């Protein structure tokens, strides 16, 4: 569950929207926005560590790419989005926090066709120290419940778009898990293979080897790609392959990766309980913590 906090429409601070900085409470959109009625919006989630946005270029490229995948070209380049993101981070004086760029189809026309709608863009920044609050305690691993909801067929939606419309499934799965006393959902794909959690990718460790599902039906997370490289650099073998739910019975460690979640250990999946927060997860967590705080090299 999310930590209690101020409502998101009643905070101090600044939100960049459509080319200018708005005070947080004034950053509003019209109720007839196409993005609200038909799910036409794409977004990003980024983390700020010590005044730098980690993987800002990768996230900004993905935002622009998500817009293209939805046939919703953004009116800005990735480089411009990077500049606006830094501006709003500085305006809010946040050195460690979270960045949420968002692009949506506006209220200029109504109906499924959206060619006449403008693409609007906003960027908000806030402090968000932790994404997961495990019900078993702050230092416990997460408990996942396999959801009845599946990740969608890549022929149904462009699954590599970080598109708001797809998140309805994650919200249903997360609510289902929460009601049953778990922390998050384990989502399968249309073939019944292990896919990911509601908002983070999944890795398993078996006999010292790391394995993660192939991102055919779900987002190939930037953290997932970062952790695969990090683990290989540390000398681990990382295999991308299909994982069936039964395969989880023999694993020693499971962890999730995501920008908000960072590296989050899992201690339970349905009836598989008492998974330890093991040495591979610990080592990657610590190496990831070091990596995100490395200062980016200055452009020549």
Q: Which of 204, 219, 266, 280 binds ligand PMP (CB under 6 A)?
A: 219
Q: Is 162 a catalytic residue?
A: yes
Q: Which is nearer to ligand PMP, 119 or 259 (CB)?
A: 259
Point out the catalytic residue in the list 162, 174, 211, 268. 162
Question: Interface with ligand PMP includes 47 (CB under 6 A)?
Answer: no
Range 32-36, long-range pairs (CB < 8 A, 24+ positions): 32/107, 32/110, 33/104, 33/105, 33/106, 33/107, 33/120, 34/104, 34/105, 34/106, 34/107, 34/108, 34/109, 34/110, 34/114, 34/117, 35/104, 35/105, 35/106, 35/120, 35/164, 36/104
Residue nearest to ligand PMP (CB): 221
Q: Which of 13, 40, 45, 134 binds ligand PMP (CB under 6 A)?
A: 45
Give the C-alpha separation, 187 to 202, whole Å. Answer: 10
- Which of these segments, 134-142, 175-183, 252-260, 270-278, binds ligand PMP (CB under 6 A)? 252-260
Question: Counting Cβ atoms within 10 Å, is residue 173 exposed (0-12), middle (13-18) or buried (19+)?
Answer: buried
**Smallest distance, ligand PMP to C-beta of residue 210, A:** 16
**Smallest distance, ligand PMP to C-beta of residue 259, A:** 3
Q: Which of 170, 182, 185, 205 binds ligand PMP (CB under 6 A)?
A: 170
Q: Which is nearer to ligand PMP, 15 or 227 (CB)?
A: 227
Task: State the first-to-last Cα distance of the chain, in angstroms, to the nearest integer.
Answer: 44
Q: Which is nearer to ligand PMP, 117 or 186 (CB)?
A: 186
The residues carrying an active-site annotation are 162
**Where along the sequence are the contacts to ligand PMP (CB under 6 A)?**
45, 170, 196, 199-201, 218-219, 221-224, 257-259
């Amino acid at each position: 569950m999310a930590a209690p906090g101020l409502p998101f429409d009643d905070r101090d601070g600044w939100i960049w929207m459509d080319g200018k900085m708005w005070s947080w409470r004034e950053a509003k959109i019209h109720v007839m926005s196409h993005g609200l009625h038909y799910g036409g919006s794409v977004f990003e989630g980024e983390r700020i560590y010590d005044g730098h946005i980690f993987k800002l270029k990768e996230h900004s490229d993905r935002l622009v790419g998500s817009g293209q995948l939805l046939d919703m070209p953004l009116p800005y380049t990735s480089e411009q989005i990077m500049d606006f993101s830094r501006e709003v981070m500085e305006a809010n004086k946040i050195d460690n926090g979270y960045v949420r760029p968002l692009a949506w189809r506006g209220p200029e026309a109504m109906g499924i066709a959206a060619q006449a709608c403008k693409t609007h863009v906003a960027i908000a920044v806030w402090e968000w120290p932790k994404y997961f609050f495990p019900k078993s305690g702050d230092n416990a691993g997460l408990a996942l419940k396999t959801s009845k909801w599946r990740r969608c067929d890549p022929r149904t939606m462009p699954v590599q778009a970080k598109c708001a419309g797809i998140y309805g499934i994650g919200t249903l799965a997360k609510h289902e898990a929460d009601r049953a006393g778990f922390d998050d959902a384990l989502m399968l794909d249309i073939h019944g293979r292990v896919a990911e959690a509601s908002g983070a990718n999944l890795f398993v460790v078996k006999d010292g080897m790391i394995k993660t599902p192939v991102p055919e039906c779900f987002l190939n997370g930037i953290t997932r790609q970062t952790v695969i490289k990090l683990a290989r650099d540390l000398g681990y073998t990382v295999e991308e392959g299909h994982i069936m739910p039964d395969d989880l019975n023999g694993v020693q460690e499971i962890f999730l990766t995501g920008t908000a979640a960072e590296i989050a250990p899992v201690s339970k999946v349905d009836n598989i309980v008492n998974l330890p927060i093991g040495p591979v997860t610990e080592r990657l967590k610590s190496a990831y913590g070091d990596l995100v705080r490395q200062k980016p090299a200055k452009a020549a």
